[in-house]
A = this chain, B = another copy of it.
Amino acid sequence: MDDFALSCPVPLPGDETIRTAHGGGGRATERLLDTIFRPAFDGPELARRHDGARLDLAGPVAMTTDSYVVRPLVFPGGDIGSLAVNGTVNDLAMCGARPAFLSAAFILEEGLETALLGRIVQSMAVAARAAGVRVVTGDLKVVERGKADGVFITTSGVGSIVATPAIEPQAVRPGDVVILSGDVGRHGIAVMAAREGLGFEPAIVSDCASVAAPVLALLDAGVDVHCLRDLTRGGLAGGLVEIAETAGLAMAIDEREVAVSVPVAAACEILGLDPFHVANEGRFVAFVGAGDAERAIAILRGHAVSEGAVAIGVVTSGPAGRVSARGLIGGTRILDMLSGEQLPRIC
């Protein structure tokens, strides 16, 4: 992250911390937009200074939204800005869409350091560029001290759907191979360690990244992809159970194929967490027709963000929502969705 520091804008005198006036839609807001936001998200749509952006998009279109409330705002491997871009980009990719345009709405707490906001916005711009999307419209609100927690960001995204037929849970079929794009548990543990000041050595770095490129590569190659799901809140187990329930099918997973890095496994051991339930921000599962599974894995492995892609199991016909995982020493456990979240505010 340190490379951003150099390119970050310097707030004007009097604007070093966020004040209520910065959210008023008047001169102070304009000054903040001109110093921090417009240089980062430069583009023809924002330059029109209108109530929204005019976009050239061919239908059908995918639309998605997420609010980001992660704490702390900056963590190893990312910050709330890169997370807000990658999370929404990945949701579009999971719909079989080519991520194209984002909106970004900021709720700022009075007293937030403007330089930190500048760094977060820069980080969004860098993530957007890397993912091939543009932030085309936005909003800025300020609430009083103690009425928010630094900054909350809500990003929405749109993109043209390139996949036919539709990629969705209902398209999953018995016999589909479940492909996991890489090791799990890094994002949740990285954020939690940063929040609680746990000094794991080496530091655990979030997997926060766009997965649009490998997903589009699968689709462009005509791979028989039935469903995609990024493994955010709820982790691998939550994602699999949700899809099994929606599809009305079961899954048999082999835990031995699921990679968990040694530091993440050790941290989970110490903290009493199950890495299958820990959030990721750059991992997904693909449900692919059996005949195309090998080709899909080869394509995914050609991209750094999914170079660890492996088949971890298959979809079976019964009973709906039952995901069984064969463990390291031969036994089988049933995966379930948690009631809440093991680690709150990780996204």
Per the 8 Å Cβ criterion, residues 292-347 of A in contact with B are 337-341, 344-345
Question: CB-CB < 8 A to A30: which residues of B?
Answer: 337
* Distance to closest chain B CB from A280 (angstroms): 12
Query: Does A101 sit at the interface, judged by CB under 8 A?
Result: yes
Listed stretches A74-82, A112-120, A140-148, A200-208; interface member: A140-148
Asked if B156 contacts A103 (CB within 8 A), the reply is yes
Interface size class of A (residues with CB under 8 A): 35 or more
What's the Cα separation between A146 and B59 when bound, in Å?
42
Listed stretches A5-13, A161-169, A173-181, A257-265; interface member: A161-169
Residue interface mask A204-248, B partner, CB < 8 A = 1: 000000000000000000000000011011100010001000100
Query: Does A28 sit at the interface, judged by CB under 8 A?
Result: yes
Question: CB-CB < 8 A to A138: which residues of B?
Answer: 65
* Distance to closest chain B CB from A153 (angstroms): 9
Asked if B65 contacts A139 (CB within 8 A), the reply is yes
* Distance to closest chain B CB from A174 (angstroms): 19
Asked if A52 contacts B340 (CB within 8 A), the reply is no
Interface CB pairs A-B, < 8 A, 25: A21-B339, A24-B339, A24-B344, A26-B340, A28-B339, A49-B242, A51-B95, A51-B229, A52-B97, A52-B157, A54-B168, A55-B61, A56-B60, A57-B57, A61-B158, A63-B136, A66-B139, A67-B107, A69-B143, A105-B156, A107-B154, A139-B154, A141-B345, A143-B149, A148-B148
Sort A-B residue pairs by CB-CB distance and give the 5 closest, nearest first: A21-B340, A24-B341, A52-B64, A25-B233, A156-B156
Q: Which positions in A face B, CB cutoff 8 Å?
A: 19-28, 30, 48-69, 90-92, 94-95, 97, 101, 103-107, 136-139, 141-144, 146-149, 152, 154, 156-158, 161, 166, 168-170, 229-230, 232-234, 238, 242, 246, 337-341, 344-345
